[in-house]
Amino acid sequence: MQRLAGLSPAFSLLWYLTSLSRWEVCLVTDWSLENATGTNSVQCSRDLELAHQLQQEEDRNRRSKESRQEIEEFQRLQRQYGLDNSGGYKQQQLRNMEIEVSRGRMHPCEFHKRKADMMESLALGVDDGKTKTSGIIEALYKYYQNAATDVRHVWLSAAVDHFHSSFGDKGWGCGYRNFQMLLSSLLQNGSYDDCMKGMSVPCIPKIQSMIEDAWKEGFDPQGASQLNNRLQGTRAWIGACEVYTLLTSLRVKCRIIDFHKPTGPLGTHPRLFEWILNYYCSEREGSPKVVCTAKPPIYLQHQGHSRTVVGIEERKNRTLCLLIFDPGCPSREMQKLLKQDVEVSHLKQLRKFVGNLKHKQYQIVSVEGVLSPEEKVMKLPRHRDVATLSRVTHLHSNGYVCSSDSTPTQPWTYCSCLFITKAYSFMSVKFLFVLFCLFVCLVFFFCKVFVSEVWPLNVCFHPFGFGSGVFIIFIL
């Protein structure tokens, strides 16, 4: 105002109006900035809300997709393992025979004849024998005596019939067919007459019923729960555990050997071959070239398939070769082995060298005799304890788990060994804790005897020392 005092009134008014205009512009500018900032804040809030909604929708779609994929995968596995309630042996047999008739590969008269035979077989619970080939072991014995110059020794199992898959079990019945092979050998062996009295080779639905009966007795409760305690009317696969369970319920002494990892180069299992060689022969030197043993065949399981081992060759170069019956091999191929002039190419379907078995894991079921009724009862899970399991389950560093008297629960796990390990771990912790408490008591006893003259009496008989002694007595 002092600066305006010496100016003319007109110029002073002009300066005042100019200052006022600048002030108004500043106010308008500030208001515009505040308004723009508020608008931007609202827009950012809306954008964040929209992004959150889009993220939630994307998460819902992802979870829905994963859920559909899980359901589809579960249904695929159910179909693969015959647990999709699409029918069992009977339904598949009829369905496949109808397809054969519609394609002109089966006459309607043949269809009705096979259907009648199947219904009779199911009613009796006995296999109709249409997929059976007998006399192969005897034919192999003659062949090795007169030929096979490259073989140094060969050991054959006891007599066994070959069974192959039919219209009713194609794609899932290998475990049942291998059990039929094993049982056919036991039925021809007089040593098992006591537990096989009055039996014949059962049909597949009958085998399913027998396994369910074994479950009801209390064998393999975990395996039963995994298969919903039901096999009849399904196409459910069975493996080494179900074969073990069924044989044990029939009072056949057997055990499962689990070769859970390769023991040779390129994923091979030479230990498996060595074990089978030791099973069939006791002495190699001085034995004849061909030996027909009294040993039953061996059930051989790997992921997705099972077969039956009926012998083993030792070549002149000291390599080993298994002789295997495959339920996937049809009768017309197996019957070629019954001819007088057996060719080497006919044995190709039987021979399996070390390099031919390269699955990650194998299990075998070997038969070792007959169980008494008391021994059968002791096989039930409720009669086994940690001490028993520790005596009969041995984990070897050479690549296999031997579970001789413990009922396995799953084909490819080692539940018994893990159970024992956990039990002994618990016992070790408990033992160390008891030692610690004893040490504490000894310390207080030392204080009582040697320091009572120096320390007050109430320190020597501290409640903690007394409590420790009482607690140790309780633990023991």
Q: Catalytic pick from 260, 305, 359, 462?
A: 305
- Say whether pTM exceeds 0.75: no
Does residue 174 have an active-site annotation?
A: yes
Contact between 327 and 177 under an 8 Å Cβ cutoff? The reply is yes
By three-state DSSP, how is residue 376 classified?
helix
Contact between 237 and 303 under an 8 Å Cβ cutoff? The reply is no
Q: If we measure between CA atoms, which residue out of 172, 181, 137 comes closest to residue 367?
A: 181
Beta strands at 252-259 and 401-403: parallel, antiparallel or unpaired: antiparallel
Q: Catalytic pick from 127, 164, 174, 195?
A: 174
pLDDT confidence of residue 361: 96
Does residue 326 have an active-site annotation?
A: yes
Does residue 305 have an active-site annotation?
A: yes
Between CA 184 and CA 137 the distance in angstroms is 13
pLDDT confidence of residue 437: 76
Partners of 160 in the beta sheet? none
pLDDT confidence of residue 457: 44
pLDDT confidence of residue 433: 74
**Segments of the chain with pLDDT less than 70:** 1-38, 74-85, 283-286, 382-431, 444-476
Between CA 181 and CA 124 the distance in angstroms is 19
At 435, list the tokens. Answer: 């030692």
Element (DSSP H or E) covering residue 321: strand 320-325
pLDDT confidence of residue 383: 58
What phi-psi label fits residue 171: left (phi over 0), alpha (psi between -120 and 50 degrees) or beta? left
Q: Catalytic pick from 258, 326, 346, 405?
A: 326
pLDDT confidence of residue 282: 75
Contact between 437 and 472 under an 8 Å Cβ cutoff? The reply is yes
